[in-house]
Copies of this chain bind each other. A is one copy, B any other.
Amino acid sequence: MKVGILTGGGDCPGLNAVIRGAVRVIGNAGGEVIGLQRGWRGAIDGIGTPLTLENTADILWKGGTILGSSRTNPYKNPDDVKKLLASYERLGLDALIAIGGDDTLGVANKLYNDHKLNTIGCPKTIDNDLSCTDVTFGFDTSINICMESIDRLRTTAESHQRIIVVETMGRHAGWIACEAGMAGSADYILVPEIKVDIEAMCNVLKKRREAGKMWGIVVASEGAVIAPEEGYVTSNAKVDDFGHVSLGGVGELVASIIEKRTGIETRHVILGHLQRGGTPSAYDRVLGTRLGVGAGRLVIAKKFGRMVALQGTSIVDVALQDAVGKLKTLDPAFYQDAAEFFTV
């Protein structure tokens, strides 16, 4: 049994835990694993190196992916699918584990449907917005980094009687902003799924000040949709055809709006790449390991076209077909819990 494995899309703490888990289970069963370099790029080009117990022994605590990653999608170029099938043949692969987000898993699903390729998927997104799994690995590390950052920013906000707007990742889903904001005791949280109410936010911040709390923390998803108001200058904000600021610049824009509306000195911080790198938390090492072990077992059981997933406390498998193409947006009940704290 010879199994290819690849990691696609943005990097995420826990990817190496998945790789190590799959290598171990397949190795224990007498199989071989080939690491394909840089996502689907490596699968197309057939560039891979053997992964062994030895060379995956010390990677559990390492952030990112030892395989590298890319956003290459073989379906964007018909020749690439052919090349991929030929490389799969040439390398003598019996199965292929694809660890990635909706795009990567969509390719795995199509290859299974169109070409009966023995693909297995493992869900990966730092944003926690993939369907059919309760949580994705990397997310927990990310919210811990955000929370620690907010913990740090709180004391500086307090000392200088400022508001600080913290911009987190989350283009389409507010999971990171909502959980990090809840963990960091944010005074207001802006997410893509909930219509932003600038006035309500400013009222909370002003009431805090009236009550003697001279500082505040606002957490905003990068994907929160703000209708720009006249006279606010932002450097990176991209305004879409509908006049909404959709990606980039949300933190800066929100800070300038708050400062203008409330008269309170306001700063913004963009956490950016800090949120996705570095050693995984215990949760992510455990989840990644269990998903890797689960993916390896699916290969051994020849259950292809499936994706490993976390449901409750169990690792289960679902059809790739059912998992791809749908975003798991923030549960409104969750935001409602956080909103209990948007008061003085």
Given contacts A147-B285, A164-B273, A274-B149, contact A185 B155 (CB under 8 A): no
A25 contacts across to B, CB distance below 8 A? 340
Q: Does A55 contact B (CB under 8 A)?
A: no
Complex CA distance for A285 and B178, rounded to whole angstroms = 12
Q: How many identical chains are in the complex?
A: 4
Complex CA distance for A156 and B159, rounded to whole angstroms = 28
Q: Which of A202-235 contact B (CB under 8 A)?
A: 213, 235
Contact A63 B313 (CB under 8 A): no
Cβ proximity bits A304-339 to B, threshold 8 Å, 1 near / 0 not: 000000011111000000000000000101100100
Q: Which of A68, A269, A278, A311 has the most CB of B within 10 A?
A: A278
Choose, from A42-50, A88-96, A106-114, A137-145, the stretch at the interface. A137-145
Q: Does A11 contact B (CB under 8 A)?
A: yes
Contact B152 A285 (CB under 8 A): no
- A residues with a Cβ closer than 8 A to B are 10-11, 15, 21, 24-25, 28, 53, 57, 60-65, 68-69, 134-135, 140, 143-149, 151-161, 164, 179-180, 182-183, 185, 213, 235-236, 267, 269-270, 272-274, 276-279, 281-283, 285-286, 289-290, 293, 311-315, 331, 333-334, 337, 340-341, 343-344
Ordered by A's residue number, 19 sampled pairs between the chains whose C-beta atoms are within 8 Å are A24-B343, A25-B340, A53-B343, A57-B213, A60-B185, A68-B160, A134-B313, A140-B282, A144-B282, A147-B282, A151-B277, A152-B274, A153-B274, A153-B277, A156-B273, A289-B337, A290-B337, A313-B331, A315-B337
